[in-house]
Structure 1
Amino acid sequence: MKTAHRFARRSAGLFAAVLAASAAPAFADETDKAQIRELAAKIEALQAQLKAIVDQQNAAPAAQAPSAAAVVTEGALPGSFKMPGTETSVKIGGFAALDIVKDFTGGGMGGAVAQPQSIAFDGSPKSERDGQLSMTARRSRLYLRTLTPTPLGDVLTHIEGDFIGSGGNELVTNSSSPRLRHAYVELGPWLAGQFWTNFADLATFPETVDFQGGHGMAQAIRQPQLRYTKKWGAHEFAAAIENPEADIVGMSVSSFNPGVGPVPTTHVDELPDLTARYAFSGHWGRVALGGVARKLSIDNRGAGAIGGFVGDDSVTAGGLMLAGRIKTGGKDSIQFGIEGGRGLGRYITGAPIPTAAVMSDGSLNAVKSWGAMLGYQHHWSPTLRSNVTYGQVRLDNPHPAMPKTAVSRVDALFVNLIWQPIPRALVGIEYVRGEVENDEPKTATLSNKGRADRLGATVQYHF
C-alpha cells in the first residue's frame, strides 16, 4: 500500500501543476501548451499504474488464501475432523497404559491377565513357587474411526488394535507385535467385520483393573460376524452369524500365518455360530437376554487319533445368558450375569475353555457348564470409585475323556479402587483372589483345590 500512496502523491502533484497551467492566460505560447499536454499524459499514465497496483494488492489475499477443498474443518463425529476435499469425518483415538501385576501365592494366575484356571493345586511343586512381578505397556491402544454420508445413509468404519500380540521379549526392547481388536463397517442396522460377540452385553459388564476380569459372565469374544440390530424406544434386538471355532479337547486350533488361514485337520467348522440378544434400558438401568447356538464337529480322518478314535461326529451346542446393571442411587449400580448350557466353552469368562470331548465310542460329548457373576460399583466422589466383583464357573467334565485333574470349578474375586484425577486420565489398583477345584480325590500330599492372590495396578491416559 505504500507504493500506491507514493503514486497517489505524485499524481496529485502533477494534477495540481496541470490545474495551475490551465489557469494561465489564454495567450500562453505554444511551449506552455505542450508542457500542459505532457503533464496530462504523465498523470494518465500514473493513474493507470496506480489502478494496476491497487488491483494487484486487493487480489493478493484471495490468491494466498487456501481453497475450500484444502481447509480442515470440524467433523460429524465428536472430536473428529473432515478430510480436506471430502465429506468423510475422521477420528483418531486410543490410550497409553502401564500395567503392573504382583502375584503372591500359588505360582500365579497365568500372566498379566488374571486366569484363575491356571492356579496350581495345593501340594504341587508349582504351588511352592514365589509370585512373579510383571510390568507391561502392551494394553496401549490405537483406533481410527470414520463417518461418510452416502445416499444409503452414514457409513461408519472402525479399526482398532493393541500390542498384546505374539513375539517380543523382556530382555532389551520389550517389543511385541500389534494385534487386531476390531475392524468393521456399519450402515444403518447392519454391521460387518470383527467386533464383540453379540452373545455378550458389554453395557452390563463390571469394571475391573484386570484386562479381562469379571469371571463367570459371558465372555467378550472378538470375532468376525454379520450382525443386524433393531432399536425402538428403550428396546434393542440384535442377531448375528459369527465365526465358529471348535474349542474341543484334542482339537487343533486354527492359527494364522502371513496371508494364510490353514484348514484344521481334526475338525470341520461347518456352520457359523448363531447369536441373538434382546436388551431393555431405562432410567433404572439395563437388562439383557441372549442365546448362542453352535454345531461342533470332529473329523480327523487322515490325521492322528484322538482318544483312540478316528472318524467324524457332530453335536449341537449352545446356551443362554441373562445380564443386567441396576442403579441403586446416584451413579452406584449392581451388575449381574448368569449363563449356562452345553458346549458354551469359550463363551464363558474364566472357563478352562473345553466345549466338548470325544468319548471312547467316538461320540462327541458337549460339556455342561454354567457361570455367574455379581458386582457392585460405588462412587466415593466425582473422581473416585470402587468395584467389588465375584464370579464362579462350574463344568461337568465328561470322564474319562477328560482327566479328573482338569479344572471343574473356578472362583474369582476382584476388589479395586479407581481414581480419575483429571479428565481422560485413570489410575487403578486391584486385589484379586482366585480359587480352583477339580474332581480328583484329595491325597495326603496333593489337594484337589488351589488358591492364589495378586495385586494389580494400571495407569492410563486416553486421547
Structure 2
Amino acid sequence: MQSNNKLRMAIRATAAAAMLGAASQAGAVNFTAGDYDMAVYGYARFNASYDIDENVSSSTRSFNYNAINVGAAEDNEATGYFGADAFQSRIGVKATSPEGVMVNIEGDFRGGGGGTLRLRHAYGSYKSVLAGQTWSNFTSFVGNTSTLDFDSLPGLAGYQSRTAQIRYTAGPLSISAEDPQNSITNAGAAAKDGMPALTARIEDSAGGFSYSAAVLAQMLGYDTGTDDESEFGFATFVAGKMAITDMITVQGTLSYSDGANSYLYRSSTASAYVDGTGSIETISGYGGSIGTGINLGGGRSINIGYGTVMVDIDDAVTDGALTGGDTESISALMANYKWTPVKNVMMGVEAQYGQRETQNGDDGDASRLLFAAQYNF
C-alpha cells in the first residue's frame, strides 16, 4: 500500500512538472507574515533555439507550427536561425490565512510578445470553491510528456492554459463556469458569448495508473441587431499515465471538439463560421499525444513524445469561409535529455521535428534544437 501511494504521488508530481516547468512549491521561500503563511516562488529560465531549416520560433523559443512553409514556399526558404530569451521566467506569491483562505498571484514575462509582465494566476480558494484566473478546469497534465518547449506538443488534453472561472471541487470531480474561448469566422464584431463555458472533469489514480476525463459545452453566436444566431459547441478529452517500471512511464491523451476548437490544443482554426445564409456551422477536430519518460536516476531523464491535431475544414472551404491554404493538420515529434546538476537547477537539450499540412494538400516540415537552463527558488 505504501509503495502504491508513493507511486501515485510520483506520477502526479511528474504530470504537474511537465507543464509547470518544475517550479514546484517545494522549492518556495516560505515565511510567516502576521497570521498568514506566505510563499514566494518562481524561477529564472534561459531558452535558446536553433531552427535548422526555417524560422519557426516564437517567444520563449516555442515551436510556431503555423510558420512552417508549405508547397512551393518550402523550396525557397532560408536556413539556420538562432534565438534566445528569458521571457519564460516567472514569479508568484501565495498567502494562506488562519481561516484557510488561499490567494495565489503569479506572472511571467511573455506578455506583449515577450519582455513585459503577463498575469498567469490570480485567484482565491476556500474549501471547495475557487474563483479567479487559473488553469481551466477543462485541462489535465496527467497525460503530458515533459518537454523543454514551453508550449509543448500539439494534441494535449484540453485548453492547457488559464482563464477566469468559478469552480467547485468534490473529491476527484470538479465543475466550473468559465470565460468562454470562442471564435467564429465571418461573424466580425457581431460575435458574442451568450453563456459561460461549462465544464466537468474527473481526475484520479489507482495503483500505478493516473487518469483524467472532461467535457465542455459552450454557446457560439452573433447578433447584428437584425440577425441573431447561436449554436452549441462541445469538447471532450481523456488522458492517462501508467508506470511501467520504477524508471519508465507511458502517457497519452485523446481529444475531440465540435464547435469548440479553441479547446483543441495547438489548433489555430475557428470553432465555427457563418455561411452564406447566415447560419452558424461548427467545425470539428481531434487530437492526441503519446510519450514516454525514462528516469535515469541522479536527476537525469529522457523524454520522447509525439502529438498531432487535425480539423475538418472541407465544408468551410467549400462555403468560402476558409481557403485551401488554411492549416488542416499539424504534428510533432520530440526527444529531450534533462539533468539536474545541483538542487533547484535544471538543464536540458531537445530535438524537435514538426509538420504542417493545408486543406489543399500542400505540406511542409521543419527541424530545430532547443537548450534550456532553469534556476528555481
The TM-score with structure 1 as length reference comes to 0.71
Per the alignment, residue 393 of structure 1 pairs with: 309
Cα distance, 1:149 vs. partner? 1.7
Q: Contact 1:116/1:435 (CA < 8 Å) preserved in 2? A: yes
Q: Contact 2:250/2:292 (CA < 8 Å) preserved in 1? A: yes
Per the alignment, residue 98 of structure 2 pairs with: 149
Q: Does residue 119 of structure 2 align to residue 180 of structure 1?
A: yes
SS at match of 2:116: coil
Q: Matches of residues 50-449 of structure 1 in structure 2 within 5 Å?
A: 79-83=29-33, 86-110=34-58, 112-124=61-73, 128-150=77-99, 154-166=100-112, 176-218=115-157, 219-231=159-171, 236-250=172-186, 265-301=189-225, 311-397=227-313, 398-399=316-317, 400-441=320-361, 448-449=362-363
Report the Cα distance in structure 1 between the residues aligned to 2:91 and 2:76, rounded to whole angstroms.
Answer: 38
Partner letter of residue 462 of structure 1? N
Residues 1:349 and 1:167: Cα distance change in structure 2 (over 3 Å)? closer
CA offset digits 1:300-336 (Å, max 9, x no partner): 45xxxxxxxx833211001210001111111421110
CA offset digits 1:365-408 (Å, max 9, x no partner): 11110001001000122311011110111100122311111111
Residues 1:403 and 1:140: Cα distance change in structure 2 (over 3 Å)? same
Cα distance, 1:428 vs. partner? 1.0
Residues 1:127 and 1:185: Cα distance change in structure 2 (over 3 Å)? farther
Report the Cα distance in structure 1 between the residues aligned to 2:103 and 2:269, rounded to whole angstroms.
Answer: 31
SS at match of 2:152: coil
Bigger shift: 190-199 or 398-407?
Answer: 398-407
Bigger shift: 313-322 or 242-251?
Answer: 242-251
Q: Contact 1:117/1:350 (CA < 8 Å) preserved in 2? A: no
Residues 1:224 and 1:459: Cα distance change in structure 2 (over 3 Å)? same
CA offset digits 1:216-236 (Å, max 9, x no partner): 1123121000000111xxxx0
CA offset digits 1:252-309 (Å, max 9, x no partner): 6xxxxxxxxxxxx3311110001110122133120111011010112345xxxxxxxx
SS at match of 1:164: strand
Report the Cα distance in structure 2 between the residues aligned to 1:125 and 1:428, rounded to whole angstroms.
Answer: 30
Cα distance, 1:146 vs. partner? 0.7
Partner letter of residue 166 of structure 1? G
Per the alignment, residue 23 of structure 2 pairs with: none
Bigger shift: 272-281 or 199-208?
Answer: 199-208
Gaps of 5+ in 1: 1-76, 169-175, 253-264, 302-309, 442-447
Higher strand share: 2
1:454 to 348, 363, 368: 368
SS at match of 1:178: strand
Cα distance, 1:158 vs. partner? 0.5
Residues 1:270 and 1:155: Cα distance change in structure 2 (over 3 Å)? same
Partner letter of residue 224 of structure 1? A
Residues 1:405 and 1:136: Cα distance change in structure 2 (over 3 Å)? same
Bigger shift: 328-337 or 243-252?
Answer: 243-252
The TM-score with structure 2 as length reference comes to 0.87
Cα distance, 1:139 vs. partner? 0.4
Cα distance, 1:127 vs. partner? 5.2
Cα distance, 1:203 vs. partner? 3.3
Per the alignment, residue 259 of structure 1 pairs with: none
SS at match of 1:124: helix
SS at match of 2:111: coil
Q: Contact 1:109/1:119 (CA < 8 Å) preserved in 2? A: no
Bigger shift: 177-186 or 211-220?
Answer: 211-220
Cα distance, 1:122 vs. partner? 3.3
Report the Cα distance in structure 1 between the residues aligned to 2:330 and 2:136, rounded to whole angstroms.
Answer: 23
Report the Cα distance in structure 1 between the residues aligned to 2:268 and 2:348, rounded to whole angstroms.
Answer: 27
Q: Contact 1:106/1:451 (CA < 8 Å) preserved in 2? A: no
Report the Cα distance in structure 2 between the residues aligned to 1:82 and 1:377, rounded to whole angstroms.
Answer: 37
Cα distance, 1:108 vs. partner? 2.0
CA RMSD after TM alignment: 1.9
Report the Cα distance in structure 2 between the residues aligned to 1:423 and 1:122, rounded to whole angstroms.
Answer: 47
Larger RCO: Structure 1 or Structure 2 (Cα < 8 Å, ≥ 6 residues apart)? Answer: 2
Bigger shift: 406-415 or 126-135?
Answer: 126-135
SS at match of 1:98: strand
SS at match of 1:346: helix
Residues 1:434 and 1:109: Cα distance change in structure 2 (over 3 Å)? farther
Cα distance, 1:130 vs. partner? 2.4
Query: How many residues align structurally?
Result: 345
Q: Contact 2:54/2:81 (CA < 8 Å) preserved in 1? A: no
